[in-house]
Structure 1
Amino acid sequence: MAFHHSADNEVDTSSGIPRSYAWVVFALTFGLLISDYMSRQVLNAVFPLLKGEWALSDSQLGLLSGIVALMVGLLTFPLSLLADRFGRIKSLTLMAVLWSLATLGCALAENYQQMLIARFLVGVGEAAYGSVGIAVVVSVFPREMRATLSGAFISGGMFGSVLGMAAGGFMAQHFGWRWAFAGMALFGLLLASLYPLIVRQARIAPQRAVVAAGQVADKISRPLRTLYSSRSVISAYVGSGLQLFVGGTVIVWMPSYLNRFYGMTTEKAGAVAAIIVLCSGAGMIFCGMLCDRLCRNHPDRKIVLCVGYCLGSCLLLSLAFALPFGTPQLVLIGLGMLIAAGTTGPSGAMVANLTHYSVHGTAFATLTLANNLLGLATGPLLTGKVSDVIGLDNAFQLVPLVSIAAAAVFLYCRRHYLLDIARLRGEPGREEAGATVLEVQP
């Protein structure tokens, strides 16, 4: 997941850029984000076919999925730094070409080892796209539109995930799993070839933006310690990551679950899993809106909501996976996933409040790292290992229990949250922090 920050003293970099051109930049950058997630998630739709053809264990399948999230978590910082120095448009184009060619490599893989290398390269290509892509988008629009654009851009991850699983399942069912990967690769290469021809660095980054960036950079070194200086912010990182262990795992393994225990074809399993992913995406928006409404005058309520989302999803998903296979189970899974990712918005708001506004980009990158290392990469891998021992249906009954640990971390955060907020606002030179912190949600 990606976030964006705004500081009131920033220069309006959109001045002089035609609005029509700005929307073209958004459409192409958004399209590449969809390609990013389609290339990442198409694998989940073809799990059953790969397992049957190559006799893979669930641990091996989980690693194929988890290695992409792991690379995204580990490489976001260094690759974003290189993009800022090398040029964002060139970097985005190279990223898209790399993940598209790597996805094509998945289609051509002859064995598990080759597939694993190709998936590793998919993760390398996708690692910094979210942070660099949102930087390009917000630079071409007025500041007052940044919250709307950030939310719209982030939703591309869900759209891409749904399209990747649904389209991947359809193509795998009718043309074979290799064409599922090839289709995603060709879509990405088409957009990557158009992007640098239409989106040009000189048009979206005039000289005044370079000067403004230098002025902002001069203010960053001192507040960096707010990224890790309070118990509350560390708890927000850890709690968010643990809760995404649950949601991320269900999304990755749901097509295989539907195939094995409901007897669904690859195409139908991908379509049903896509609906569950949409439930998760809708829940992120709804839970974030609820947080903004209820916590306007009570900032610590967002932590109470996080605890509620964790325990509520644990209850619903535990009950769902204890039920016999059938429609009631699928309904409960959808309801559980509706709130399973609900902590994403409040967690982002807590991180924004607990860190200095000038380093919010780095703070949200740290949150992304925690989400990937503790949840999105670890969850599918560990679940696959457990599934090899006790079966996927029994492994799914254990996954929701991680939400209890996430709730405990958020409760610990609540004990220190208001004190840490007061301490941050009371530090010399930070008087403006409370006024400029922007609550953000996915």
Structure 2
Amino acid sequence: MKTAKGRAFYLLTLICVIYLLDYADRKVMSGIFESVKAEWAISDSQLGLLNGIVSLMISVFVIPMSIIVDRWSRKYMISLMVFIWSIATLLCAFAQNYYQLLFFRALTGLGEAAYAAAAVAMITKAFPRSHRTKYIGIYDAAAPIGSGIGIMLGGYIAEMYGWRHAFGLVAAPGVIVSLLFLTIRDYHTVQISEKIKESISLSKEVIQDCLYLFKIPTLWFIYFAYSLIIGLNTCVIDWIPTFFQRFHGLSEKEAAMKAGVLAVAVLIGAPLGGFISDVWEKRNKHAKVFVSAISTAISIVFLYLAIQTTSMELAVLFFGLFGVHTVAFLAPASSITQEVVRTNVRALSFGINVLIMNLFAFAVPVLVGKISDVFDLRFAMSLLPILGVIAIVLFFLVRNQYHIDRKKL
């Protein structure tokens, strides 16, 4: 770790482990949906809200926390955030009713609010542009691994020992890693002048930074395309264990195991999307956009087939192929949000992206739950590919604008 390269890879390792734990803590809930529903007799829309509230809290707090990340210390902020969301997850094990659990899930979202923005900013700083997309792809791959682990542990432990024990198991590692992160070397952030240290002046600078970002057309296309796909993916991850139980007759443990394996299997797609983008971009300047659009188009076809088939084997196959393709956009799209802005607002840029995408991650699963309450879960999930079609259109709209905005830097 004495060399710059060694420090960079140590940082990347910790960031990936933390992101894995982030998603394990988020998605453990998906593996225990039916146990919680049975114990408290709640609706599908209420179930959806237990995961959705995490995304909503991230949306509410991501901007102010991203500002602190950009102006204070990424190292200390990440350590603090991991500690907070881990303790909040542990508290979920002690919830005595639906509203207590909802409150503790909201605290989990508060802790996770600006982690993605801080992590992407640190990776962007630590690695050169020629390899940056690849390493962001590796980082993004930690999310499906964490989701899979959380879902599998949730379903298995819920069936064997009761759903409350699942929260305690996934929470403990986060406390340890939060302390380990204090060992990394922080890097220089843009210093705030004496006047800006005053709250009013700081607010003015933040408003100026936001206005600067809002004037970049590329960001708007990417923000909403990214968010539509994240809303779609979040909904599938949240509901797939329940889908397997209701329409394919699996037990909670069996459904969680299959859903968890599928979530882990999609880790191929995130780094693969980054790798293809890096290689293809040497020949085609639109590579990042093309990879994002093409992979999304393929994914929604497999998603529709997975939902409609009555064969368990085909459903697993199609969901798996959907998963690999639907995360391939992450690295190239994330890279674009960093490459069209000044270095001092990179975390804020991605923070706005996180805000919007988490609003979709909140709304889509809850909406699907409400539609499921009226019709059924299969019908509700069959509507999801529509979001992918809209995202594809947005990706193509950004094709030329991306290079125009980069040249303005």
Shorter-chain TM-score category? 0.7 to 0.9
Give per-residue Cα distances to partners, 1:234-261, cap 9 Å, x unaligned.
Answer: 1121112112222221111111111222
Determine which of 66, 72, 88 is the counterpart of 1:80: 66
| Equivalence map 1:149-188=2 (5 Å) | 150-188=136-174
Give per-residue Cα distances to partners, 1:286-336, cap 9 Å, x unaligned.
Answer: 233223333433323543443333332222222222221421122112112
Determine which of 243, 255, 258 is the counterpart of 2:229: 243
Q: Distance in 2 between the 1:153 and 1:409 partners?
A: 24
Q: So what's the TM-score if we normalise by structure 1?
A: 0.79
Tell me if 1:214 matches 2:191: yes
- Which piece of structure 1 moves more, 311-320 or 39-48? 311-320
Q: Could you tell me whether the CA contact under 8 Å between 2:137 and 2:331 is conserved in 1?
A: no
Q: Could you tell me whether the CA contact under 8 Å between 1:223 and 1:356 is conserved in 2?
A: no
Tell me if 1:396 matches 2:378: no
Return the index of the structure with the highest Cα Rg. 1
Q: What does residue 56 of structure 2 align with?
A: 70
Q: Could you tell me whether the CA contact under 8 Å between 2:59 and 2:356 is conserved in 1?
A: yes
Amino acid at match of 1:232: T
Change (3 A) 1:226 1:289: farther
Helix, strand or coil for the counterpart of 1:273? helix
CA RMSD of aligned residues (A): 3.4
Structure 1 position 155, deviation (Å): 2.9
Q: What does residue 97 of structure 2 align with?
A: 111
Helix, strand or coil for the counterpart of 1:108? coil
Change (3 A) 1:329 1:69: same
Q: Distance in 2 between the 1:135 and 1:423 partners?
A: 19
Give per-residue Cα distances to partners, 1:118-158, cap 9 Å, x unaligned.
Answer: 00000001112233355567778899986665444433322
Structure 1 position 61, deviation (Å): 0.7
Helix, strand or coil for the counterpart of 2:93? helix
Q: What does residue 403 of structure 2 align with?
A: 421
Determine which of 372, 376, 395 is the counterpart of 1:410: 395
The alignment-based identity, stated in percent, is 28
Q: What does residue 253 of structure 1 align with?
A: 239
Q: What does residue 201 of structure 2 align with?
A: none
Q: What does residue 438 of structure 1 align with?
A: none
Q: Could you tell me whether the CA contact under 8 Å between 2:66 and 2:347 is conserved in 1?
A: no
Give per-residue Cα distances to partners, 1:265-300, cap 9 Å, x unaligned.
Answer: 222211211222134332222233223333433323
How many positions carry a matched residue from both structures? Answer: 400
Unaligned runs of 5+ residues in structure 2 are 197-204
Unaligned runs of 5+ residues in structure 1 are 1-13, 434-442
Amino acid at match of 2:377: L
Amino acid at match of 2:321: L
Structure 1 position 424, deviation (Å): 5.3
Q: Could you tell me whether the CA contact under 8 Å between 1:353 and 1:421 is conserved in 2?
A: no
Give per-residue Cα distances to partners, 1:357-410, cap 9 Å, x unaligned.
Answer: 553332222222222223x22221111111111111111111112212222323
Q: What does residue 310 of structure 1 align with?
A: 296
Helix, strand or coil for the counterpart of 2:21? helix
Change (3 A) 1:42 1:227: same
Q: Distance in 1 between the 2:301 and 2:135 partners?
A: 34
Change (3 A) 1:185 1:303: closer
Q: Distance in 1 between the 2:34 and 2:108 partners?
A: 21
| Equivalence map 1:11-30=2 (5 Å) | 28-30=14-16
Structure 1 position 54, deviation (Å): 0.8
Change (3 A) 1:141 1:344: closer
Give per-residue Cα distances to partners, 1:211-256, cap 9 Å, x unaligned.
Answer: x73399x999988655222433311211121122222211111111
Q: What does residue 199 of structure 2 align with?
A: none
Change (3 A) 1:77 1:264: same
Q: What does residue 370 of structure 2 align with?
A: 385
Amino acid at match of 1:379: V
Q: Distance in 1 between the 2:163 and 2:238 partners?
A: 17
Q: Could you tell me whether the CA contact under 8 Å between 1:283 and 1:337 is conserved in 2?
A: yes
Q: What does residue 10 of structure 1 align with?
A: none
Helix, strand or coil for the counterpart of 1:100? helix
- Which piece of structure 1 moves more, 135-144 or 280-289? 135-144
Amino acid at match of 1:369: L
Amino acid at match of 2:394: V
Change (3 A) 1:31 1:45: same
Helix, strand or coil for the counterpart of 2:367? helix
Determine which of 280, 289, 312 is the counterpart of 2:266: 280
Change (3 A) 1:347 1:327: same
